[in-house]
Amino acid sequence: MSAGNRTIVVREDTVIKGQIRDCRVIEIFGLVEGELSSETVIVHPGGRFNGVAKVLDADVRGQLEGRIAIKNLMHIAASGSVIGNVQYGRLSVEPGGLLSAEVRNVPPEIFGDLTIEVASGRSVVITTDDLSGFDADGSADALVYSVVGVTSGYITLAGAHGPSRTFSQRDLEGGRVAFVHDGSANRRASFDVVLTDADGATSGAPRTVAVMVGG
C-alpha cells in the first residue's frame, strides 16, 4: 500500500498485513504486521505493530515490535513497550514504559553537493553547501570528519600550518576548512571523508568530494 502524504488510521477491529509506504502519519489502534515507512507512527494503547519500520518519529503507547529505525525521537509512554532491534536518534521513556531491545543510535549522515571548485595552486573554503553532516542526537562539535584520501592537494584548517586529517562540523559551519591545490597540471582533484559521531558510529563507506581545478 502506497499512501502518499495521507494520514492512515488503523482502528481497533482492523488488522493490516503487508506494506505501508510513504504515508505522513499512521495511527495504530488495531494490528499492523509487515513493513512500514512513515514520517510519524503513533501506536495507541491496545494497538500493535510487528515487523520492519522506518520512520522519523514514533509515539508508542501500545506495542512496537521488530526491526525499527527511528531517525528522530522515539517516545515510549507509560503504557507503551518497544521490543526488538531498534535504532533511534533521541529517546524519551515515561515511568512504566518498557524498552526491551538491542538499541543502537542512528549513525550520522553526509549531505551536500560534494563538489567544489578551486584555482590551480590556490585554496578555497569548503562550505556547508559543498559538504555537511547530520546526526539526530549529536552536536556540531561532536561530529568529526576524517580525511581518508586526498589527491592533488590537501585539507587545512584556518590558522593551521599544513594538512589536517580531521575537522568538525562546527569547523565547516565556521568557514574554517579549506582545500589547497598543489599547483599540479591535474585538472581534477578529490578527497574522501568519513563522518563519526560522539558514540563512535560512522557514516559508512568514505564519500568522495570532487574538486574541479581552474586555470
Residue 41: pLDDT band with limits 50, 70, 90: very high
Residue 24: pLDDT band with limits 50, 70, 90: very high
% of the chain at pLDDT higher than 70: 95
Domains and CATH numbers, the chain: 7-105 (no CATH), 109-214 (2.60.40.10)
Residues in the chain: 215
Q: In the sheet that 153-157 helps form, which strands lie side by side, from edge to edge?
A: 123-125, 177-181, 153-157
The grid coordinates of residue 198 equal 560522539
Distance CA 135, CA 11 (A): 35
pLDDT at 35 > cutoff 90: yes
Q: What pTM was computed for the model?
A: 0.61
Distance CA 146, CA 136 (A): 19
The grid coordinates of residue 9 equal 488510521
CA dihedral for 171, 172, 174, 177, sign (positive or negative)? positive
Per-residue pLDDT tens digits for 169-206? 999 999 999 999 999 998 899 999 999 988 788 999 99
Residue 41 and residue 26 in contact, taking contact as beta carbons nearer than 8 Å: yes
Residue 213: pLDDT band with limits 50, 70, 90: very high
pLDDT at 28: 97
Distance CA 58, CA 139 (A): 22
Distance CA 85, CA 125 (A): 41
What DSSP assignment string belongs to 116-183?
EEEETT-EEEPPTTTSEEE-TT--TTT-EEEEEEEESEEEEETT-SS--SEEEHHHHHTT-EEEEE--
Per-residue pLDDT tens digits for 87-143? 888 889 999 999 987 776 678 889 999 999 999 999 999 999 999 998 866 678 889
